[in-house]
Structure 1
Amino acid sequence: MINPAPPADDTVVVIRGRGRVSALGLELGPDYPVSPFTAHPTGVSVAALPAEAEAALTELRHAHPAYRQLDRTVLLALLAARLAVARVKLPVVSGQLPVRSVAGLAERPDYWALVTNNRQPTTNNQLAISIGSSRGATGRLEEFHAGFLREGRVPAAASPLTTLGNVASWVAFDAGQQGAAALSHSSTCSSAFQALGNAVAWLRAGMADRFLAGGTEAPLTDFTLAQMRAIGIYSPYAAADWPCRPGAGRPSTFVLGEGAAVFALERGSRAALRAAGEPAFLLEGVGFGFEAIGSKTGLSPEGSHFQQAMREALRQARAAPETIDAVVLHSPGTPAGDAAERAALRAVFGEHQPLLLSNKWLLGHTLGASAALSLDFALHVLATQHWPTPPFATDVNGPATHPLRRILVNAAGFGGNAASVVIGLE
């Protein structure tokens, strides 16, 4: 049974600002001649934060006494959320908010008033938060458990600091949120798009005026890296040799990374955007897919869950497959996963295959943050019409034959979950 298309109305979900932190730092550049990967003490390659981003995270950790106890995953979300709002460009702001020195931004009285549905400050602060993470407070959980094994007890803060809910609740605290909801959840590596799905549904239903939604992950711990190596998918290549190679075939080149991306969203109208005469990024559709297979780490050769997710995202966007100019792939560099996603693309797009793009060769696989960082990359591509070329043989990031106006972004995770998002340039 084919679900009917959503009703055609004037309501749109606008991406007003975005913030990210990853192995590429706080900004995205045009080209990357040197591998951003480094060697972890355990001996494998990882995509860790560079010095500038690490300094910003340290500054944030000391911006509030309570923040010194937070897990790295939570701090990454706070940093990305602050950057997302700092980059919102609205008439109520005099001049540009600084991107650097982000620790002081939350102290500004107009900080969270920037993201308003009608471009005016409001006392009806219906700001909702939705943050996805595959693992949550990984580092702190491992620290508390090690302390328990060593001493036989844990501090009282152990439980509240390691629940998944503490990710979104601390973002809400930092935002000075009044009303609406703060949602944390996990659907493995598609978690960030679950957050975007929440945002779209709530905004369209009028349950919130504004949203901060995205994903975050800090999984570069010895135990998490050991889990990934146990699956047998980790890249054998050294950090300097571009160890994550999506679309390059064998061997498997999965590499773990850390980071976060958060988006400032609002409900608007297409007519108002056109009247304003300014370009805008629209979150046009969010689709989900699931396939019940025997292996919780695998997927079907035909990528059934990818097919479901892409078709649903296209349906919500009221977009024909041939209107998609490019796809930012999930493609983590595992031969089976890469092949299944491409099989799904052939099933959905037929002979009208879009350009294939990827950022994992620069960021690694950031688990619950990966979908959000892929979306951020897609927005960067729409804004600049430029993307870097990998220094190895692959089917991703080739040249385009025409300007890109609409991009589909894929994500998938353990357990048979997949999600897709369609974004467009209005």
Structure 2
Amino acid sequence: MQLPITISGIASVSALGTSQDEVWQRYILGQPLFSKEIFNGKESWISAITAEGDTSLSKLRDSNVHYNRLDRTVLLAMLATKKMASMVSLTGKRAGINIGSSRGATQLFEAYHQQFLTDGSVSAYTSPTTTLGNISSWVGQELGTDGIAIDHSVTCSTAMHALLNGIAWLGANMADAFLVGGSEAALTPFTMAQIQGMKLYSTTENVMACESMRLQKTKNTMVLGEGAAVALLERGISEKTQAVIQGYGFATETLEHSSSISANGVCFQKSMKMALDNAKLESVDVIVLHAPGTVKGDMAEYNAIAKVFSQKLPLLTSNKWLVGHTFAASGMLSIEMAILMLQHNKLIENPFFSNQRDLPKTLKTIMINAVGFGGNAVSIILSKP
């Protein structure tokens, strides 16, 4: 009998904090972690990492002369990984790494490009420090691993696709452990201009700026955040196991628009059904939605859930109303939220959505959804060890 794929450790760096205790306390507190910053002459809501996270990032950057040349995206991934590695050892294991990013080395790329526009010169470090492969390779350098190191971008479902890759590598016995996740540091003028240019960004003055899962809204309310989140996957259950991957599903759909999915979220319907079939389940206790706070995105995912689960909806929630959309890292932050809810046997409610059923006595299974541009949906079902 094949051993189950499990999550042995998980860690993140975001506006929620830098430790699982801190992250959980911020979920319990339930106050949006947004601040205002000026981009391109306009004040906008954002979700930035905590002051403690910034201090830790500075210490990491100063710890090695080579790290001064790395993008913030890479350093965030390294910082999250160091925190995870302090809890789970990789010694003696064939370890692979797959940490992706939607935008990659955004800050460095914009700075280098501006230098090129200004004086026509290009630093010798421009190309090697702005390639997407920087993230996993530098994490591997920091950990001292010598296994496969993969980077990719599937936009907002990047971390969840990394998790799928880890499942495949472990299932094929090509690794003993696989570090998966996503990192994003896209709080930059050009990236902000792109999202605002798509008319997706929140324009409210209210600190409840991201109305994720408020199905009645008529305006888009996305808020951009930064962060990194990583998980260590292994075969079998041990004393370190935090959650069992009970099921997984993935799907794409025919594009109707380059930045949105179909009205009934066909890709989500397919990925959720696959995950349920894979787990041999008819339903789950909770679903953590992708729900980016956009009018069409939130509604399409809800419609997909209604199609799959009919009148017996699981409890529904999300975290972007609290921490914003961290692009590549968002799916793994949702995985972390699900693990914490399983551990504490508590649902973190979304203030914009009212569930129509009561919490079961024991939370046993949670589905997590994510989707990227192009309709690349992933659904993961976690259960208690």
Shared fold, TM over 0.5? yes
- The answer on 1:289 being equivalent to 2:251 is yes
SS in 2 for 1:247: coil
Distance 2:318 2:50 in 1: 20
SS in 2 for 1:241: coil
- The answer on 1:417 being equivalent to 2:383 is no
Spell out, residue by residue over 1:390-417, the C-alpha distance to the aligned partner (whole angstroms, 9 max, x if none): 5x44247986233211111000111121
Spell out, residue by residue over 1:217-242, the C-alpha distance to the aligned partner (whole angstroms, 9 max, x if none): 0110011111111111111223x622
1:264 is aligned to 232
SS in 1 for 2:63: coil
8 Å Cα contact 1:215/1:261 also seen in 2: yes
Q: Which runs of 5+ in 2 are unaligned?
A: none
SS in 2 for 1:408: strand
8 Å Cα contact 1:387/1:397 also seen in 2: no
2:72 is aligned to 72
1:360 is aligned to 320
Distance 1:45 1:244 in 2: 9
Cα pair distance change 1:52/1:387, threshold 3 Å:
farther
Give the counterpart letter for 1:409 in structure 2: I
Spell out, residue by residue over 1:249-306, the C-alpha distance to the aligned partner (whole angstroms, 9 max, x if none): 31221110001100112112x6xx5xx7x87411223321111213111111110011
Task: Give the superposition deviation at 1:348.
Answer: 1.4
1:405 is aligned to 364
Task: Give the superposition deviation at 1:63.
Answer: 1.5
- The answer on 1:327 being equivalent to 2:295 is no
- The answer on 1:253 being equivalent to 2:234 is no
TM-score by length of 2: 0.93
TM-score by length of 1: 0.84
Distance 2:234 2:179 in 1: 9
SS in 2 for 1:220: coil
Distance 2:241 2:149 in 1: 30
Identity of aligned residues (%): 41
1:184 is aligned to 151
8 Å Cα contact 2:8/2:241 also seen in 1: no
Within-5 A mapping of 1:14-93: 14-26=6-18, 27-28=22-23, 29=25, 30-32=27-29, 34-42=31-39, 43-88=43-88
Structural RMSD (CA): 1.8
Within-5 A mapping of 1:158-173: 158-173=126-141
SS in 2 for 1:167: helix
Distance 2:122 2:151 in 1: 24
Cα pair distance change 1:189/1:227, threshold 3 Å:
same
Instruction: Select which of 122, 126, 141 maps to 2:109.
Output: 141
1:104 is aligned to none
8 Å Cα contact 1:23/1:362 also seen in 2: no
Give the counterpart letter for 2:186 in structure 1: P
Aligned length: 375
Distance 1:222 1:311 in 2: 39
Give the counterpart letter for 2:320 in structure 1: K
- The answer on 1:231 being equivalent to 2:198 is yes
Distance 1:245 1:396 in 2: 16
Task: Give the superposition deviation at 1:25.
Answer: 1.4
Q: Which runs of 5+ in 1 are unaligned?
A: 1-8, 89-113, 116-120
Cα pair distance change 1:396/1:41, threshold 3 Å:
farther
Cα pair distance change 1:311/1:290, threshold 3 Å:
same
8 Å Cα contact 2:285/2:365 also seen in 1: yes
Cα pair distance change 1:279/1:414, threshold 3 Å:
closer
Distance 2:188 2:73 in 1: 12
Cα pair distance change 1:397/1:418, threshold 3 Å:
farther
Distance 2:345 2:53 in 1: 25
Instruction: Select which of 335, 338, 345 maps to 2:298.
Output: 338
2:278 is aligned to 316
Cα pair distance change 1:168/1:279, threshold 3 Å:
closer
8 Å Cα contact 2:346/2:363 also seen in 1: no
Spell out, residue by residue over 1:301-358, the C-alpha distance to the aligned partner (whole angstroms, 9 max, x if none): 11001111112222332x3232x11000000111211111011111211232111011
Instruction: Select which of 130, 133, 143 maps to 1:175.
Output: 143
Cα pair distance change 1:303/1:214, threshold 3 Å:
same
Distance 2:317 2:356 in 1: 5
Distance 2:362 2:4 in 1: 23
Within-5 A mapping of 1:205-224: 205-224=172-191
SS in 2 for 1:216: strand
8 Å Cα contact 1:32/1:388 also seen in 2: no
8 Å Cα contact 1:209/1:266 also seen in 2: yes
Spell out, residue by residue over 1:56-115, the C-alpha distance to the aligned partner (whole angstroms, 9 max, x if none): 111111121111111111111101111112233xxxxxxxxxxxxxxxxxxxxxxxxx14
SS in 1 for 2:28: coil
Distance 2:352 2:254 in 1: 33
8 Å Cα contact 1:215/1:260 also seen in 2: yes
Distance 2:9 2:212 in 1: 28
- The answer on 1:382 being equivalent to 2:342 is yes
8 Å Cα contact 1:358/1:397 also seen in 2: no
